[in-house]
Chains A and B, each alone.
Chain A
């Protein structure tokens, strides 16, 4: 069964339509990469999936999104949806709380208060985000004191803390060093058997390394969505895909 089904999704900010009818599926336990130049609508798709677009008053959305068989509409419990669809934003954000509270924040919002359960969740998530060894002795210091790369792994740990079934990463490597990037990529490979992952990235090589399938989005339309073997071959379905992947534009 598909985890997410998107049909004819259109998004407009005011009079400016940025997504012109996009349809795709996210399969069980795959990494789907979305590549494309700036302003092609990548982030808007993600913000529809976890409904944080609701916080932009001028945004207009039409089309249908189904998550785990549930159609998203105005009756959807958006907070439960956001726990199911985890999100890692482009810029690392250590919340001004202790490292422990950063990771325990989402479980607490969901009503979990048992100390033992929170302790276990915090350790497990920090371990998975390969941050545990660096911070295990100073869990009480503020998350804002960590370095940029550590904060991005903290963000990842936070996104895992509410046990999402789907994880969306929006250009997670834009502000961090290559070493941290490779470590997070390693984490994503380890998560693939458990999670379905959408990876929005500006780095076509990253999509090639990680993804099972890749979607090439251009100016709010899907140019091509296919297995990586096709997208990164010498003969993808569309000439523009080849040009973009090989750095001829964008």
Chain B
């Protein structure tokens, strides 16, 4: 008798195995189909407008023709300034919470508050930004107000992801440094931060897409329907000016402007997606590089 022959029990197990793997594969297809369908449809519809001119010219004829240059540059402004503010503050706050703070009820409450803040809807941040930056700080409707509002929105997520990255650095590394007479800050600077860097970067980069994509916070605080900027300059906006932004532009094209050719909002969306895709790819590349260097 063959002692390795398949018994009914084994056959049932194999059937379960096949069922489980096909069910999981089916779910994956359910996700991928609409994703590729959506992106494919966007690109297909956007094709007539996807030219280099689209990126380098301003909208004309009441947004019905021309490109998106002011909105594209406006988005770059908002994303850069907001993350330049949110990253150092968020990372250092996370360093305090993980490396310095004692385990007291107050600090536990702060941690929970940060996690909850990360889940606050962007429209609430928009209202806060309007009250705090536009009115109270008297920055007016401006790039600065909009960027700070985006910074407030992204900061809790940066704190949370940085905390995760710091906590993933083994405690034995810290103890080894302390045993050698290193102060807390020397330990953090030499060992903890470099080893958490790829995790911290991932968290920050994810917020690039969020800052680029959100409409409500900037609509309330500094983004406008249309703004003429000087052609040919790299930095056409002043910080106390209002600006256009891709997300806001997409919204106004789709809902506020009659008679726009379908290719223009689609091309705007493709551009926004492309920007996010580019930044994410760069982040993954950077992370791979940092990890390979660390080992």
Interface residues of chain A, those whose CB is within 8 Å of chain B, are 50, 52, 55, 57, 79-83, 86-87, 89, 91, 93, 95-97, 105-106, 109-110, 142, 144-145, 155, 158-159, 161-162
From known contacts A57-B102, A97-B190, infer whether A106 and B172 are also in contact, taking CB-CB under 8 Å: no
- CB pair B179 A50 closer than 8 Å: yes
Taking the complex as formed, is B181 at the interface, i.e. its CB lies under 8 A from any CB of chain A? yes
Q: Chain B residues with Cβ under 8 A from A89's Cβ?
A: 172, 175-176, 179
How many residues in B have their beta carbons less than 8 Å from beta carbons of A?
20
Would you give the shortest CB distance from B101 to chain A, in whole angstroms?
10
- CB pair B181 A106 closer than 8 Å: yes
- CB pair B181 A162 closer than 8 Å: yes
- CB pair A105 B182 closer than 8 Å: yes
- CB pair A142 B102 closer than 8 Å: no
- CB pair A79 B183 closer than 8 Å: yes
Q: How many A-B residue pairs have CB under 8 A?
A: 66
- CB pair B295 A142 closer than 8 Å: yes
Would you give the shortest CB distance from A175 to chain B, in whole angstroms?
12
Q: Chain B residues with Cβ under 8 A from A109's Cβ?
A: 180-183, 186
8 Å CB contact of B180 from A55, A91, A158? A158
Q: Chain B residues with Cβ under 8 A from A159's Cβ?
A: 179-180
Taking the complex as formed, is B135 at the interface, i.e. its CB lies under 8 A from any CB of chain A? no
- CB pair A95 B191 closer than 8 Å: yes
Q: Chain A residues with Cβ under 8 A from B190's Cβ?
A: 97, 105
Q: Would you list the 6 A-B pairs with minimal beta carbon distance, nearest first? A: A106-B180, A82-B181, A83-B181, A87-B179, A93-B176, A109-B182
- CB pair A105 B180 closer than 8 Å: yes
Interface residues of chain B, those whose CB is within 8 Å of chain A, are 102-103, 172-173, 175-183, 186, 190-191, 194-195, 294-295
In angstroms, Cα B187 to Cα A82, docked, is 14
Closest partner residue, chain A, to B186 (CB atom): A109
Closest partner residue, chain B, to A145 (CB atom): B295
- CB pair A91 B172 closer than 8 Å: yes
- CB pair A96 B179 closer than 8 Å: no
- CB pair B177 A105 closer than 8 Å: yes
- CB pair B173 A55 closer than 8 Å: no
- CB pair B294 A52 closer than 8 Å: no
In angstroms, Cα B186 to Cα A52, docked, is 15
8 Å CB contact of A142 from B178, B180, B294? B294
Closest partner residue, chain B, to A83 (CB atom): B181
Q: Chain B residues with Cβ under 8 A from A96's Cβ?
A: 173, 191, 194-195, 294
Q: Chain A residues with Cβ under 8 A from B294's Cβ?
A: 96, 142
In angstroms, Cα B177 to Cα A134, docked, is 24
30 A-B residue pairs with Cβ-Cβ distance under 8 Å, sorted by A, are: A52-B175, A55-B178, A57-B103, A79-B182, A79-B183, A80-B181, A82-B179, A82-B180, A82-B181, A83-B180, A89-B175, A91-B172, A93-B172, A93-B173, A93-B175, A95-B176, A95-B177, A96-B173, A96-B194, A97-B191, A105-B177, A105-B190, A109-B180, A109-B181, A109-B183, A109-B186, A110-B181, A145-B295, A159-B180, A162-B180
Q: Chain A residues with Cβ under 8 A from B186's Cβ?
A: 109
In angstroms, Cα B172 to Cα A86, docked, is 16
In angstroms, Cα B80 to Cα A120, docked, is 46
Closest partner residue, chain B, to A80 (CB atom): B181
Closest partner residue, chain A, to B176 (CB atom): A93
Closest partner residue, chain A, to B103 (CB atom): A57
From known contacts A96-B294, A144-B295, infer whether A106 and B173 are also in contact, taking CB-CB under 8 Å: no
Closest partner residue, chain B, to A170 (CB atom): B179
In angstroms, Cα B180 to Cα A82, docked, is 6
